Amino acid sequence: MKRSSLNKSLLDRLLSSDKAVSISVVLLGFLCGTLLVVAVGRNASGMYSAMLQTLTGLDVTRGTWNIRYVGEWLNASLPLILCGLSMAFAARTGLFNIGAEGQYVVGLTAAQFVALYGPQIPGLHWMLALLAAAVAGGIWGGVVGWLKAKFSVSEVVATIMLNYVAFFASRWLTMLIPGSNTYRTPSFPATARLSNPLINQLTNGSRLNLGLFVVILSCLVFWFVIEKTKLGFELRATGLNKDAAQYAGINVTKGITSSMIIAGAFAGLAGAVVALGSFSYGRVLGGNDNYGFNGIAVALVGNNTAGGTMIAGLLFGMLASAQPLMQSRQIPKEVTWIISGLVVIFISLRAAFRIILDKRAKRRAAELKERIDE
Partner 1 sequence: MNDLIRMIPSILMIVSPILISAVGGMICEKAGVVNIALEGLMGIGAFTAATVHVLIESSTPMSVWIAIIAGGLTGLVVSLIHAYASISLNANQVISGTGINLLATGGTIFLAQVIFKMERTQPFKLGMMPGFAGIYPTAWIALGIVLLAWYILYRRPFGLRLRACGEHPQAAASAGIDVRRMRYIAVLASGFLAGVAGACLVLTQTIQYTVNTINGAGFIALAAVSFGRWLPKGVAGASLLFGTAVALAIYMVNIESLRFLPSEFFSILPYIITLITLVLFSGRDYAPRASGQPYERGGS
Contacting residues toward partner 1, per CB under 8 A: 36, 40, 96, 98, 147, 151-154, 156-158, 160-162, 164-165, 168-169, 171-172, 175, 287, 293-294, 296-297, 300, 332, 334-345, 347-352, 355
Strand 184-187 relative to strand 64-65, pairing: unpaired
Report in angstroms how near the CB of residue 151 gets to partner 1 at its nearest. 4
Phi-psi region of 288 (alpha: psi -120 to 50; beta: other; left: phi over 0): beta
Based on CB atoms, which residue is closest to partner 1, 222 or 293?
A: 293
Based on CB atoms, which residue is closest to partner 1, 102 or 268?
A: 102
Based on CB atoms, which residue is closest to partner 1, 11 or 157?
A: 157
Report in angstroms how near the CB of residue 94 gets to partner 1 at its nearest. 11
Report in angstroms how near the CB of residue 109 gets to partner 1 at its nearest. 13
3-state DSSP assignment of residue 283: strand
How many beta carbons lie within 10 A of that of residue 221, not counting itself? 16
Based on CB atoms, which residue is closest to partner 1, 146 or 266?
A: 146
Q: In 3D, which of 78, 108, 55, 315 has the Cα closest to residue 212?
A: 78
Report in angstroms how near the CB of residue 336 gets to partner 1 at its nearest. 7
Strands (E), the chain: 58-59, 64-65, 184-187, 281-283
Contacts of residue 308, Cβ cutoff 8 Å, sequence gap at least 6: 19, 22, 301, 302
Based on CB atoms, which residue is closest to partner 1, 207 or 329?
A: 329
Question: Residue 261 and residue 149: Cα distance in Å, rounded?
Answer: 13
Based on CB atoms, which residue is closest to partner 1, 80 or 162?
A: 162
Report in angstroms how near the CB of residue 88 gets to partner 1 at its nearest. 13
Report in angstroms how near the CB of residue 295 gets to partner 1 at its nearest. 11
Q: How far is CA 6 from CA 248, 253, 358, 364, 369, in A?
A: 37, 44, 14, 5, 11
Report in angstroms how near the CB of residue 365 gets to partner 1 at its nearest. 17
3-state DSSP assignment of residue 64: strand
Q: In 3D, which of 85, 144, 145, 75 has the Cα closest to residue 300?
A: 85
Based on CB atoms, which residue is closest to partner 1, 115 or 147?
A: 147
